[in-house]
């Protein structure tokens, strides 16, 4: 059901919900940019981008899935350089 899907990436706090949009590559890029700016733990950001990537794949939107994947790689690189 719809409820289960939403719970998989939302916390108790509704403000924490990131609207995952990937209708177009531009939407996907905006979502990735938004996730990168979030003041959230690294694992959480990766989780959100993974949801984005998988949903895009299921929807047959290969370009958007690739954008999400690149976003995750960029986050990982940034994290390595930070430490």
Q: C-alpha angle with apex 61: 55 to 63, nearest 5 degrees? A: 115
Q: What is the pLDDT of residues 11-30, one digit of tens each?
A: 444 555 678 889 999 999 99
Q: C-alpha angle with apex 48: 43 to 50, nearest 5 degrees? A: 90
What pTM does this model have? Answer: 0.76
- Residue 73 pLDDT more than 70? yes
- Residue 3 pLDDT more than 80? no
d(CA 22, CA 31): 8
Query: Where residue 1 falls among pLDDT bands split at 50, 70, 90?
Result: very low
- What residues have CB less than 8 Å from 71, skipping those under 6 apart? 32, 35, 36, 49, 52
CA 67 from chain centre, in angstroms, equals 10
Quick one: pLDDT at residue 64?
Answer: 97
């Amino acid at each position: 059901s719809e409820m289960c899907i939403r719970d998989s990436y939302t916390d108790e706090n509704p403000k924490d919900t990131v609207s995952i949009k990937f209708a177009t590559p531009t939407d996907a890029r905006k979502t990735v940019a938004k996730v990168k700016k979030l003041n959230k733990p690294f694992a959480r950001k990766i989780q959100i981008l993974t949801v984005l990537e998988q949903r895009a794949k299921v929807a047959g939107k290969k370009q958007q899935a690739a954008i999400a994947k690149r976003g995750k790689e960029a986050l990982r690189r940034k994290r390595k350089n930070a430490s």
